[in-house]
Amino acid sequence: MPLPQLPSSKLPNVKTTIFTTVGNLARKHKAVDLSQGFPDFEADPELIGLVSKAMMEGHNQYAPMQGLLPLREIIASKIKKLHNRFYNPKTEITVIAGATQGIYTAISTFVNEGDEVIVIKPAYDCYEPAIAVNGGIAIQVQLNAQDYTVNWEEFKFKVGPKTRMVIINTPHNPIGRIFAKSDMLQLQEILRDTNVILLSDEVYEHIVFDGEEHQSVSRFNDLASRSIICSSFGKTFHVTGWKIGYCVAPKELMHAFQKVHQFNVFCVPRPVQHALATYLETGSHYLDLGAFYQAKRDFFLDAIKDSRLKFTPSQGSYFQLVDYSALSEQSDEEFAKHLIIDHKLACIPISSFNTHSRDDKMLRFCFAKKEETLEKAAEILNLL
């Protein structure tokens, strides 16, 4: 039978992602893998036990579309405690199938054909395809090459009558920087008299270092009133494979979000929600995460301090950027490939996340790894 003629792709420019390409090459060459953004250690057995218990006790059928109420309630009280804003668990919180789904649903809900969406580059790779599938146009604002800060003047210039949404990410993947309060205040001023919706990707909200605080958009009145915030329990509790997180937004925005959510996901696994509702009762389970990852960052950076790589310590997330320009003039993709094939170490080159693939000779290493993995990686880097 002849195949039906396929309509043209909605994502003609999307190729295999750099994560898949690097991951496949790393497996082929049995490389130490600091490329993929997930832990190589297990989650807390207590949390796993709570999920098993919920399953054994029969919590195995559909959950309510918004998520289990006890889970939404504890999310509300966590945000109130940390950022002093109350999101009503009945109307302003949805449990989602991971941040990727929350981000996709938020974009589908609010972005129409021809709408512009401002994306700060380098950007996590799920934003722009979601914008394109929904007929939107991504307007890129590239971070400075020297210190990866936002040029807010340039940003302001790009906000116009067609801007429907702005997407921010703090702590930032792949850069490992956080937005300061002054960044948030500038953003608030720029958006003040607009109808722009802010989508704030805060999946690394609990991974902030050196005594700094996570500046959630929920801390800023005017920003909070126009924002959907996405978070990920996968990142917070070392269970990226569970694909579960939450979105919060003011009632009207959340109502619109849920209209779409109920038809593309409806609800997410019930036993996991049960377990998380109990696990979140102990604040240290998430409040200690910054110290936990700071120790890993410091271990890794101390181990490579005598190498020829240059770096500024990551401020948040579990990623560290390093500058290899003293070692090679190869492009970052070539150099990353060479590291895998010739030195058996995998990391992510940054250029594919930048506007026009700007190559700053930067590589991203994930330090959500056991000390022995970090040690092996450091040994290789020190010999380069």
Ligand X SMILES: Cc1ncc(COP(=O)(O)O)c(C=O)c1O
Q: Which residues bind ligand X (CB under 6 A)?
A: 37, 98-100, 124, 169, 173, 201, 203, 232, 234, 240, 243, 245
Smallest distance, Å, CB 127 to ligand X? Answer: 9
Smallest distance, Å, CB 190 to ligand X? Answer: 22
Distance CA 126, CA 314 (A): 22
Distance CA 170, CA 264 (A): 26
- Nearer CB in complex with ligand X: 66/236: 236
Smallest distance, Å, CB 328 to ligand X? Answer: 27
DSSP secondary structure letters along 92-144: SEEEESSHHHHHHHHHHHH--TT-EEEEEES--TTHHHHHHHTT-EEEEEEPP
Smallest distance, Å, CB 245 to ligand X? Answer: 5
Residue nearest to ligand X (CB): 98
* H or E element in which residue 161 lies: none
Smallest distance, Å, CB 205 to ligand X? Answer: 11
Give the dihedral sign, CA 234/202/259/129.
negative
- Nearer CB in complex with ligand X: 134/170: 170
Smallest distance, Å, CB 214 to ligand X? Answer: 13
Smallest distance, Å, CB 169 to ligand X? Answer: 5
For residue 174, cis peptide bond before it (omega within 30 degrees of 0): yes
- Nearer CB in complex with ligand X: 17/112: 17
- Nearer CB in complex with ligand X: 75/378: 75
Smallest distance, Å, CB 25 to ligand X? Answer: 19
- Nearer CB in complex with ligand X: 232/373: 232
- Nearer CB in complex with ligand X: 31/103: 103
131: Cβ–Cβ under 8 A, 6 or more apart, which residues?
107, 111, 117, 119, 137, 138
Burial (CB count <10 Å: 0-12, 13-18, 19+), residue 347: buried
Phi–psi pair at 226, nearest 5 degrees? -120, 15
- Nearer CB in complex with ligand X: 272/378: 272
Distance CA 312, CA 177 (A): 10
- Nearer CB in complex with ligand X: 207/336: 207
Distance CA 74, CA 55 (A): 21
- Nearer CB in complex with ligand X: 134/232: 232
Residue with token string 């994930």: 366
Distance CA 372, CA 104 (A): 36
Smallest distance, Å, CB 307 to ligand X? Answer: 26
- Nearer CB in complex with ligand X: 203/301: 203
Distance CA 209, CA 288 (A): 11
Query: What is the chain's alpha carbon radius of gyration, rounded to the nearest angstrom?
Result: 21
Q: How many CB atoms lie within 10 A of CB 274?
A: 21
Smallest distance, Å, CB 132 to ligand X? Answer: 17
Crossing angle of helices 270-279 and 45-56, rounded to 10°: 130
